[in-house]
Structure 1
């Protein structure tokens, strides 16, 4: 009986005692097994040619409680296997396909990997190695990386990595079919905008025209260097299509772009969904700020070439390219847009050209649609959580190359043009690896964005509006975050406009160092559009160095605020939050330079007294404000309002009349008001203490009454009738 029980326990032990790494989830979703030993591809040859050889570097992480000893890493392929479908490729990547890989490429000694330890192994084959000469046909092949023991079997508790090995046509005999056209587009933009405190502080403390309002926002030094490094890749890879954000081109220096996007990557798709141009205007964003023409002018300024011209492409935002959004883009001068997602209008059984011509109310617009799988991999995203080899850049690149080869082999005689969109945050190292690999891919023709845009429309243009209305934009994120940003920006802009119209003394000019006033021409220099490129003419330089009029300076304040607004309405939450907060801080800093300096405490020894209050103006222009005072007592009160004008960078004192009817203590609260009696700034307090003195008329009356009562008491004392026994 005991023996039978032991056998049963042995048989059923896996049901309840399986190690954590071998247990399956219960939610019905297939997940990669959490093996205590993890393999990661750090480097691998993405394209094998007749001269490339093959190299691989793999990291082994041991998360188990025991050391791994005497292990080896086997790198194997199947030189004869051809993937037959997309699902076949994906299943292999996810570890769900049972494809034998009998052809050994490398076996690398791993040695000992301690518990919670990491070890990296590297191996390579020369181009003339027999293992590589056995690859006699081009295309993607299955590749397995597996830890094995001394006996050649899989090491217990480990899970192999399944990726791809792609052989190019170089050095192989056989028919060459037409190459597939790939356009690799890289947006050169950023969502790491920051407040340029040197500029904002300079605007608030100086009336100099040398401070440019458009510089109120800037890029961090690290971000600018990263953008410049990506821009410089154009010199190495002539087929890399850089689509530059006009707002960042100045930070790059001399940009190398094949096209420009809308300034600040302004989210046109959300703009179209909100459908309230007035809300954007109130926030400080005019239609002119993100027109294609404005972007070209910014490019010319960055290049220093007034004749520069390039294609302007509207990049997709958070929403989809609905007909309303396409109408908006075309009305703003964009004849080409890029759809990074949600524009699948064709059967995806095969990879096809997805260039579309769409008629709109303002003319025809060309939609370039990104190929979803290749673009996701190029944006450093795995095709699924189960594709364990795609958790590193090297693994993702390996899959991208294999996938592109498979697409060519799907329809080898069909000419197709595919768009691969890199991510905004894709680093220059990955871009270098990708472009180097694609240059070695004999089945790929790297095409320009102009070639893609001029390709024949995949669908008859007249059919496009109905198809878009039917299939595009069915599931889009809510616009609530954009509305919140618009409302916040409108509030901060209202604060600045209120200062300009109800606090600032208009028509005044800050005095130059010699006490002279600027010319009328200089005073008008502040009225330029915030999107206008700075002039480099001598007269403009002279104007920039001179002082501005109060009206021009007021416009500079609004332009600085609006510099925050445009990037705040990009699709990125981090930029939106940083820019909305920056705009509000700028408006708050403006008003906070006007402060009240109360008396602190006041001791009143008469019926009336004077309570002084000082208004401090730390701005370079004069202001006119009102000060209100209110007490919480009926016996000790002050006058309510006092008007005061304060010169630039100075103080002015005003006073309130205090009236007292009795002794006591109260608190007077002083508040700054604009000329329309709207409060701003912090409330200040003055403690008022009243002590009655003889000099008071009320005190004299009380004393007189006391004397009369005393005399009356004495009179009664002498004239009262006494008792007989008294």
Structure 2
């Protein structure tokens, strides 16, 4: 007997089979879904095409072809309207590239959104960026033709959004946008980006803006050694400030200066050694302008760079040369740094401020002084060291605060150290990564371009304001030191056009109540920070190279230079100061700069020790038992030297005297003489080397060939030969004239 289910409907009891109930419910749900879709979908809607089963290449859930990444058709966002207002409209320009081996026929590029969708969590936003969130794109914005693409070809397409569709957005904030490339009804690629609607023209309650501080570190990654200036320093005792220069690549060309000047609320924190270097070059460029055309051009460039730097309103300075305080603490060997030429006073806050005043030419000026994070994260030990060196405020990168709070917080925390409280300004992770040209994840397909990252930045900042609209917060965003003019200008213009953001300065951020302090802050800070194995090895190698260079200078001063009256002391100080400048920049955390500085430190000592040389001499031919071998020593230094000259041969029969000492005048020559003694004919080489006063060799070895052609040179020799001749004659006469014995 079949069981039946009782259902009451309109006062009646119906006994229906379970299968019929299931079919009825499914039909009812289908009707409701169809009616809802028709009601929600307006005219002109562009639905994203789905992949055909007949298509040779299957597509994944994101709409991109499920093949090797290098063979996927790509969509790159070249430009997009960052903030949408009531009158701005929305435009997007994208490039479609065909990296496959075949030709793609003409297709379409669709632009769609969902005007009613709102993001409720940071996870939702990230999932959409990664293509992991399947949000229905119910509202078509635009469509454009894409021409046929040969293998390796690309096409640029501009899409202008339909104004009526934009007008249906009645809530402010980020909206999902899909850019879909369609060929023959099949989606071949899709990019997931955002448009952000401002409150302009919307009847909404205004909420307080989110405070945002945007900082730009002004440093150089092109520090290099001027070999001509170094040669002049070694031979003529010239000014040492020009040996280490900011390099040929100007860190503040006209375009970059104009971009910074257009946005006065951008917080520029400069390396003070960059300021003094450029100011020094500008002051000395007048004499160069009288030389050849190349020198005139160089002088003009230096003056222009210096003017650009002086015209920038700085918000503060960092530690000199961006000295890596965290790596210094991680290495935990102050003696190694001193041996390398870097004293603690070389990078403290007082020195940084002094460099700034010197560059500006006003010893009464004051500005903010900040310690910028190096390779390793700030630890309690490195924060203590920074405070001891006079830095009360430090700037940490976006990896310092590893907490995963549900909402963003003010980028200010107060950490108590043995030296006192330190204010740590922490960069907001996602916004800073985007500002520095990095995608939030490897799967964020729209964030491979600057325009795509900017769209995400604006959307993300809007969401942060929306998640806690009445909570006062101040976020820190730091641009990359290598950010170009276009990146700086685009980001700052987008921020300035975002009414939900309020730009502040570093002083305001530092004075803001910290979001965490005391024991709570200490829980977020590591006791010690360490470098990676590769970083630690490179650091050790750099310190060793620098120490060897400095030891070479001190050895030269004490064991080669003749400086009894102290006249050479200023020159030696210049050499040591230059070496310290080289070492300071080598330890600034930039590996490429460190490599150039290491080469410079080594070449400086090599050239210094190579300034006293043995003049190559011609080969010597010896025709008697003894002879003289003259050797000339030249000195290119501006001060006299006292050296030993040593000669050694590789023969026991042909030898020279071993050592001779001599003094060589400044920019002059001296000649010494070695005695050659021979006992047979033959040839050998004399290796002539220079020794310092302690007997340690330096400089290059010279080789002189010695050939011996021994001749009779006195009467005793002739007597011996004559006597031998007579004995020979007597022997022959006896052999022929003696009588033979009968028995023979």
TM range (shorter): 0.7 to 0.9
Match of 1:257 among 290, 310, 314: 314
What's the offset of the Cα at 1:462? 4.5
What's the offset of the Cα at 1:589? 1.6
2: CA distance, partners of 1:316 / 1:77: 41
Describe the shift of the 1:712–1:229 C-alpha distance in structure 2 as closer, same or farther (beyond 3 A): farther
Describe the shift of the 1:303–1:366 C-alpha distance in structure 2 as closer, same or farther (beyond 3 A): same
Determine helix, strand or coil for the equivalent of 1:107: strand
Match of 2:159 among 110, 116, 123: 123
Structure 2 matches for 1:77-156, cutoff 5 A?
A: 77-125=113-161, 129-149=163-183, 153-155=185-187
TM-score (norm 2): 0.84
Answering whether residue 77 of structure 2 is matched by residue 41 of structure 1, we say yes
Determine helix, strand or coil for the equivalent of 1:648: coil
- Asked if structure 1 preserves the Cα contact closer than 8 Å seen for 2:398 and 2:432, the reply is no
- Asked if structure 1 preserves the Cα contact closer than 8 Å seen for 2:75 and 2:191, the reply is yes
2: CA distance, partners of 1:646 / 1:474: 51
Structure 2: gaps of 5 or more residues = 1-52, 279-304
What does residue 577 of structure 1 align with? 595
2: CA distance, partners of 1:300 / 1:231: 21
Deviation digits for residues 8-40 of structure 1, max 9, x if unmatched?
xxxxxx99x97599799xxxxx99855542110
Deviation digits for residues 21-70 of structure 1, max 9, x if unmatched?
9799xxxxx99855542110111111112232222111111223443333
What's the offset of the Cα at 1:131? 2.5
Deviation digits for residues 275-330 of structure 1, max 9, x if unmatched?
21111111111111111111111111222222111111101111121111011111
What's the offset of the Cα at 1:648? 2.1
Structure 1 stretches of at least 4 aligned residues deviating more than 4 Å after TM superposition: 17-24, 30-35, 474-478, 696-702, 723-726
- Aligned-CA RMSD value: 2.7
Deviation digits for residues 674-712 of structure 1, max 9, x if unmatched?
111111111111111111101157854752552353254
What does residue 29 of structure 2 align with? none
What does residue 653 of structure 1 align with? 671
Deviation digits for residues 364-416 of structure 1, max 9, x if unmatched?
21111111111111110011111111001111111111111111111122111
What does residue 193 of structure 2 align with? 163
What does residue 224 of structure 1 align with? 251
What's the offset of the Cα at 1:90? 0.8
Determine helix, strand or coil for the equivalent of 1:319: coil
What's the offset of the Cα at 1:508? 6.4
The total of aligned residue pairs comes to 658
1: CA distance, partners of 2:385 / 2:417: 9
Deviation digits for residues 216-271 of structure 1, max 9, x if unmatched?
11123333344x64444342112111111111124352042101111111000011
What's the offset of the Cα at 1:190? 1.6
Answering whether residue 282 of structure 2 is matched by residue 248 of structure 1, we say no
Determine helix, strand or coil for the equivalent of 1:68: coil
Deviates more, 1:380-389 or 1:117-126: 117-126
2: CA distance, partners of 1:44 / 1:23: 25
Describe the shift of the 1:347–1:123 C-alpha distance in structure 2 as closer, same or farther (beyond 3 A): closer
Describe the shift of the 1:18–1:626 C-alpha distance in structure 2 as closer, same or farther (beyond 3 A): farther
Describe the shift of the 1:473–1:502 C-alpha distance in structure 2 as closer, same or farther (beyond 3 A): closer
What does residue 549 of structure 2 align with? 492
Look at both structures and tell me which one has the larger radius of gyration over its CA atoms.
Answer: 2
- Asked if structure 1 preserves the Cα contact closer than 8 Å seen for 2:182 and 2:189, the reply is no
- Asked if structure 2 preserves the Cα contact closer than 8 Å seen for 1:246 and 1:263, the reply is yes
Determine helix, strand or coil for the equivalent of 2:194: strand
Describe the shift of the 1:212–1:170 C-alpha distance in structure 2 as closer, same or farther (beyond 3 A): farther
1: CA distance, partners of 2:269 / 2:544: 31
- Asked if structure 2 preserves the Cα contact closer than 8 Å seen for 1:662 and 1:692, the reply is yes
- Asked if structure 2 preserves the Cα contact closer than 8 Å seen for 1:21 and 1:34, the reply is no
Describe the shift of the 1:178–1:459 C-alpha distance in structure 2 as closer, same or farther (beyond 3 A): same
Match of 2:347 among 290, 293, 299: 290
Describe the shift of the 1:23–1:178 C-alpha distance in structure 2 as closer, same or farther (beyond 3 A): closer
Structure 2 matches for 1:465-480, cutoff 5 A?
A: 465-469=522-526, 473=529, 478-480=535-537
Deviates more, 1:298-307 or 1:489-498: 298-307
What does residue 450 of structure 2 align with? 393
- Asked if structure 2 preserves the Cα contact closer than 8 Å seen for 1:36 and 1:62, the reply is yes
- Asked if structure 1 preserves the Cα contact closer than 8 Å seen for 2:614 and 2:634, the reply is yes
What does residue 27 of structure 1 align with? none
Deviation digits for residues 137-168 of structure 1, max 9, x if unmatched?
11001001111346xx344xx12101111111
- Asked if structure 2 preserves the Cα contact closer than 8 Å seen for 1:20 and 1:34, the reply is no
